[in-house]
Copies of this chain bind each other. A is one copy, B any other.
Amino acid sequence: MSELGTLEDLPADYRQALAAQNLVPLWPSLRAVLPHGQPGPRTHATMWSYESLRPLLMQAGELTPIEKAERRVLVLANPGHGLEKMQASSSMYLGMQLLLPGEWAPAHRHTPNAVRMIVEGTGAYTTVNGEKCPMQRGDLILTPTGLWHEHGHDGDEAVVWLDVLDLPLVYYMETSYAVEGEKQDVVPRRGDREYLRGGVVPSPVFTRDTSAYPMLRYPWVDVRAALEALAAERPGGDAVQVAYVNPEDGSDCQNILGFSALMLRPGETLALPARSPAMVFHVIEGGALVSADDTAFTLAEADTCCVPGFARVTLKNRSTSEPAFVFIADESPLHRKLGLYEVRA
């Protein structure tokens, strides 16, 4: 790999002539945009403590009425990208959203895809294309691209959830926009009840559901039961992990980001191979140590962290007597679809 010419090697008037025509010489920047052997990420391994941010989120509830916020969210921003960019990674956005009893976040739809991982509180719900989805700790609720969604709250305590969106990518691609709508009529259908068991799907009069999002709510009680069953079935040390999928065709449940849940057995340590996508970890139950290359985080329940792609990550259950449950978001559907997915042994 030879050393290349620099911008300074070029005559000043030549550089000016280039700029006047919107031209830039490639070679002074070639190594920077095509580094040798591995990308140079801007994403930093970063952690957000729920205990620390919770008071600020509650304070936001006091400072800003829902009508002035529409979505009352504190964005978990990665300093590697600059906080104002509101990115956790190149393609993931994270936010902690607060909804207070009686509040309503009005209906809209937009090109970016979102999921909601409920963190605390009961009584809130999200209505997605007419399907009213109850929100309880650990539930995952999809609000995919183009689907109408709004949040309401019939309970009496603050409800908080973690939003995960592909907003940074969709915005980068110059495709991000929203449309506002009226309060939706609720239809009775509930996908989480229709796809209760694996291996069988509704087929009334031999007809399958071919809509893009047949299941919008993944109840934690069911996902947890699936993890427990898997742990019982695979005693030998295999990772106990399930992916959230479209129950009709097994594809990733959303277009761009992937979601999974992991159970760390008591005392278990799990080393992940280096993979191209950035990842987000959020603890649903228990506690975990997350190390990514030279950085390490100690996560308690409801804590969240992000690690860049190509990092070597190790997860360790902090308890030797209780399992830990971790929600994971990553960019793997995006990388696979674009032919950029890579795993290094």
User: Are the CB atoms of A84 and B24 closer together than 8 Å?
Assistant: yes
Q: Can you list, as one digit per residue, whether each of A165-196 has a CB less than 8 Å from chain B (1) or not (0)?
A: 00101111111111110000000111011111
User: Are the CB atoms of B33 and A167 closer together than 8 Å?
Assistant: yes
**Please, which residue of chain B has its CB at the minimum distance from the CB of A97?**
B26
A-B contact pairs, 19 of them (CB 8 A): A5-B68, A9-B68, A18-B74, A23-B75, A26-B72, A27-B73, A33-B176, A34-B110, A34-B112, A35-B177, A37-B179, A39-B175, A173-B340, A175-B340, A196-B197, A200-B218, A203-B241, A204-B238, A205-B239
In the assembly, what is the distance between CA of A248 and CA of B238, in Å?
19
Contacts of A202 in B (CB 8 A): 230, 241-243
Contacts of A215 in B (CB 8 A): 198-199
Contacts of A314 in B (CB 8 A): none
Of B30, B86, B190, the residue contacting A33 (CB under 8 A) is B86
Stretch at the interface among A149-157, A281-289, A331-339: A331-339
In the assembly, what is the distance between CA of A1 and CA of B106, in Å?
10
**Count of chain copies:** 4
- CB A100 to nearest CB in B, in angstroms, measures 15
Q: Which of A32-48 contact B (CB under 8 A)?
A: 33-43, 46, 48
Of B83, B193, B199, the residue contacting A24 (CB under 8 A) is B83
Of B26, B197, B249, the residue contacting A226 (CB under 8 A) is B197
Contacts of A322 in B (CB 8 A): none
Q: Which of A1-55 contact B (CB under 8 A)?
A: 1-5, 9-11, 14, 17-19, 21-27, 29-30, 33-43, 46, 48-49, 52-53
- CB A214 to nearest CB in B, in angstroms, measures 9
Q: Which of A52, A79, A197, A338 has the most CB of B within 10 A?
A: A197
User: Are the CB atoms of A174 and B308 closer together than 8 Å?
Assistant: yes
**Please, which residue of chain B has its CB at the minimum distance from the CB of A190?**
B233
A-B contact sample (19 more), CB < 8 A, given A24-B84, A173-B340, A193-B232: A4-B70, A9-B68, A18-B56, A19-B83, A21-B56, A24-B75, A27-B70, A33-B86, A35-B178, A38-B177, A43-B174, A113-B339, A173-B334, A188-B233, A194-B233, A197-B225, A200-B222, A200-B243, A206-B332
User: Are the CB atoms of A76 and B200 closer together than 8 Å?
Assistant: no
Contacts of A298 in B (CB 8 A): none
User: Are the CB atoms of B63 and A11 closer together than 8 Å?
Assistant: yes
Of B22, B206, B230, B247, the residue contacting A241 (CB under 8 A) is B206
Q: Which of A77, A174, A230 has the most CB of B within 10 A?
A: A174
- CB A332 to nearest CB in B, in angstroms, measures 6
User: Are the CB atoms of B244 and A200 closer together than 8 Å?
Assistant: yes
Of B41, B53, B73, B273, the residue contacting A205 (CB under 8 A) is B273
In the assembly, what is the distance between CA of A250 and CA of B201, in Å?
8
User: Are the CB atoms of A64 and B205 closer together than 8 Å?
Assistant: no
Contacts of A319 in B (CB 8 A): none
User: Are the CB atoms of B22 and A193 closer together than 8 Å?
Assistant: no
In the assembly, what is the distance between CA of A169 and CA of B337, in Å?
13
User: Are the CB atoms of B171 and A71 closer together than 8 Å?
Assistant: no
A143 touches B (CB below 8 Å) = no
